[in-house]
Structure 1
């Protein structure tokens, strides 16, 4: 089993990207999958059928060529697995297919600060190991809409636990769904380099990945 971790940025570039690649590589060594990490859009234009999942790790901006868009759509239609991490929600905002695939687009965040993640659905590999209220330091992304109703919400933000939240009571942070044939998982968490060494966060990533892997 191999996964493709795509990290191209055309906007803000997170310093945590190398840490994310190392985390996925370590998880692969522990759980029996290999990781190909790339910045090249051309990697998505080639046939992707050999990958169990495609992961957009803190990508940003318009990063795909028309050929790469076609390749990703074909991979999804063939039953592929797609996972978005953190700034993946800041990616391809002019492409409606990607917005539907991810479920929502980023619009803003307050300052980096501690807060509380509320686990809404503990019956999922990405959340079943977590406490009901999980303290995290992150950027607490606000989105252009709540995807609730179109996705299965796994965890949300308690806006009373930090300053500057802009979505109110309905603030999903991690979710999964099926779109255009693909199994999809997204988590808004993952800004800081140090979080990728946190065992709970790594288990969150692993569970999300396992839920979308092509069997």
Structure 2
């Protein structure tokens, strides 16, 4: 793991075998720009799992970030390496939006993400609400929710609240958008810790379908703190610090 003075090594992985989001390229560029401007992490971007997602290679990274990975994009030994990295080596895992639509029949992957994609209604502006019990969480950094946030409002195959390991950070207000299937409580952003101090950490956000998210300071600030939190490097960004530009 990195220290509070050494930048985190982050793998940004964006392979797809189903729907491919147009926002992948802008998101990669934004993450590289944020890494350069903040000095808090470095980015290695690839779509070749054999160069980075084996038990021999994944240990080079403090945090693995799956960016919009959809479909059956990994072989079983890649999933095993990811599981080993997070559950046994205290690695960090960040999954963004379409990553919930990856490996839909793989129970290990479902455990690492927290809940998997079922469907979404047509995109429209809606309201993102901060979970009251999570207001002090490092990843939020004091951020409030957002009105008129344009996105795909994901429904999940299981209700995230049924997963006792998840700590919900933000949810959608289902009265502000149509087509929600999660009832009155619609979690969208969460994190989890595996085996306390002995396991790794993961974070998922269902937000981030459109290019504009990756030039938005609110959204990129959450991603930055999620990277630092999953990498156990919270001390690198002091409370109240301004998020460096990601563009």
Superposed displacement of residue 60, structure 1: 0.2
CA distance in 2, matches of 1:36, 1:134: 33
After superposition, give the CA deviation of every residue in 1:153-208 in whole Å (9 maximum; x if it has no partner).
00001010111111111211000002372200100000001111011111111111
Structure 2 residue aligned with 1:39: 47
Structure 1 residue aligned with 2:150: 137
CA distance in 2, matches of 1:150, 1:129: 22
Structure 2 residue aligned with 1:19: 26
1:105 counterpart = 2:116: yes
When the two structures are superposed, what TM-score results if normalisation uses the length of structure 2?
A: 0.83
Query: Is contact 1:10–1:63 with CA below 8 Å preserved after alignment?
Result: yes
Structure 2 residue aligned with 1:58: 68
Greater Cα offset, 125-134 or 146-155: 125-134
Structure 2 residue aligned with 1:95: 106
Gaps of 5+ in 2: 1-7, 234-247
Greater Cα offset, 23-32 or 115-124: 23-32
RMSD: 1.5
After superposition, give the CA deviation of every residue in 1:11-66 in whole Å (9 maximum; x if it has no partner).
10000001111121122112221100111121201422221100000000111123
3-state secondary structure, aligned to 1:9: coil
CA distance in 2, matches of 1:179, 1:131: 27
After superposition, give the CA deviation of every residue in 1:108-158 in whole Å (9 maximum; x if it has no partner).
001111000010022123323422454310001011122223310000010
Query: Is contact 2:97–2:205 with CA below 8 Å preserved after alignment?
Result: yes
3-state secondary structure, aligned to 2:53: helix
1:211 counterpart = 2:229: yes
When the two structures are superposed, what TM-score results if normalisation uses the length of structure 1?
A: 0.94
Structure 1 residue aligned with 2:205: 187
1:162 counterpart = 2:171: no
3-state secondary structure, aligned to 2:160: coil
Structure 2 residue aligned with 1:10: 17
Point out the structure with max Rg over C-alpha. Answer: 2
Superposed displacement of residue 214, structure 1: 4.6
Structure 1 residue aligned with 2:159: 146
| Equivalent residues, number | 215
Gaps of 5+ in 1: none
**4+ runs of 1 displaced by more than 3 Å?**
132-135
